[in-house]
Amino acid sequence: MRLQLAESRAWEDDGFFIRPRVFSPSDLEELREAAEAVAVAAERASACPEKDYRIDGNRYVEAGGSTIQFEHGEHHERSQIIRVIEPFHHLHPRMDALMDDPRLVEPMRDLVGSERVALWTDKLNLKRSREGSGFRFHQDSPYWNHKCDHVDQLPNVMIALDDATADNGCLRVVRGSHKRGSLPGIRDETTLGPLFTDPAHFDPDDEVLAEMPAGSLLFFSPHTVHGSQPNRSGEPRRAMVLTYQPSDQPMFKRPAIRNAKDANELTPG
Ligand SMILES: O=C(O)CCC(=O)C(=O)O
């Protein structure tokens, strides 16, 4: 499960690579069920929010230890549909156990560059059929720079819970865009504009559609420019994005440390 030579090369040259069908249909059944239970828990928690606010017109709620983002759009109903839950692993035991899964942790040891790794953050992106909005092109590093002094050691893995296609808004990654660190953002009148990558700083011809079957993993650098189109299909495009870091460091959104267990610390079953 450690990195193959071709994967290390792709990581260096492209800033991403895919491992197809790592999770089996029965794993996926369990994970989808857990993801829906997380969505229900987040919905319940958002009924008693610690904070309910808007940024650039879009709704966010802090509740149950998560930031819950709601769908974008003009209509009031859209601001009731959950878009992203970050973090989410604490909302379901199956998800908490997933953070220690060797299929994720083993390659992460190589990508982080440390034999012991910890979780930095974890997002559940629900991207519901016909409702799921797109994500403008961005890098993750500018979101994290202010809270972390090891931003180069924050690799992401996206786990596809459903087949990801152009039609349902698969992730798009810009090949080679990770090579110049954090790139300049957009200067406009919005609050989040500076966090979206200025298109003058990457080549749209380098965009690659990360289409992949359910159960596949897309590993990508914190500096890789990425985004996605809305889900225009009748199928959901659910995915989880987990980010690891060297061990013994606190998480992005929670003060606790969540070290990944070693394979020999895992309980069978
Ligand atoms: O899920 C998507 O389509 C985009 C996700 C993304 O860009 C992110 O989580 O940073």
**Domains defined for the chain, CATH in brackets:** 5-248 (2.60.120.620)
Rounded-to-integer distance, Cα 77 and Cα 90, Å: 27
DSSP 1-45: -PPPHHHHHHHHHTSEEEETT-S-HHHHHHHHHHHHHHHHHHHHH
Asked if 239 contacts 83 with a C-beta cutoff of 8 angstroms, the reply is: no
Q: Tokens standing for 226?
A: 């990425």
- The answer for 101, left when phi > 0, alpha when psi is -120 to 50, beta otherwise, is beta
Q: Is the pLDDT of residue 236 over 70?
A: yes
Structure confidence at residue 73 as a pLDDT band (50, 70, 90): confident
pLDDT of residue 24: 98
Rounded-to-integer distance, Cα 217 and Cα 213, Å: 9
Q: Is the pLDDT of residue 221 over 90?
A: yes
Length of the chain: 269
Rounded-to-integer distance, Cα 128 and Cα 23, Å: 21
Longest CA–CA span in the chain (Å) reads: 53
Does residue 131 sit in helix, strand or coil? coil
pTM of the model: 0.96
- 132 CA distance to ligand 1 middle (Å): 11
Q: Is the pLDDT of residue 113 over 90?
A: yes
pLDDT of residue 155: 98
* pLDDT tens string 85-100: 999 999 999 999 999 9
pLDDT of residue 78: 74
Does residue 77 sit in helix, strand or coil? helix
Our mutation pick for probing the ligand 1 site, out of 219, 241, 243, counting the most ligand atoms within 8 A of Cβ, is 241
Instruction: Please give the average per-residue pLDDT across 170-187, as a whole number.
Output: 96
- 267 CA distance to ligand 1 middle (Å): 32
Judge if the beta carbon of residue 228 lies within 6 A of ligand 1. Answer: yes
Rounded-to-integer distance, Cα 51 and Cα 64, Å: 11
Question: What rounded mean pLDDT belongs to the chain?
Answer: 95
Least Cα distance to 139 among 84, 199, 191 occurs for 199
